[in-house]
Amino acid sequence: MKESTKRSILRWVHIAFGLPILGYIYGPPEEVAQYVNMFRFIFVPGLLISGMWM
């Protein structure tokens, strides 16, 4: 696989993990409270790992 293809895939993974965080920040607190663990253990680490990997 070419380096440009890997970079493009990682960029889209990074964007995909970043979009739910915007919903968490701007969403109503009573609705996002049930997803706190998902953000804490899935989205934020995925965002950090894909960002450092790029």
Mean pLDDT (whole number) for 20-35: 88
pLDDT of residue 35: 87
Residues spanned by the domain of 49: 3-53
Number of independent structural domains in the chain: 1
Q: Taking all residues of the chain, what is their mean pLDDT, rounded to a whole number?
A: 89
Q: How far apart, in whole angstroms, are the C-alpha atoms of residue 20 and residue 10?
A: 17
Closest CA to 17 of 46, 51, 49, 53: 46
Measure Cα distances from 37 to 20, 43, 52 in Å.
13, 9, 22
pLDDT of residue 41: 93
5 confidence band (pLDDT: 50, 70, 90): very high
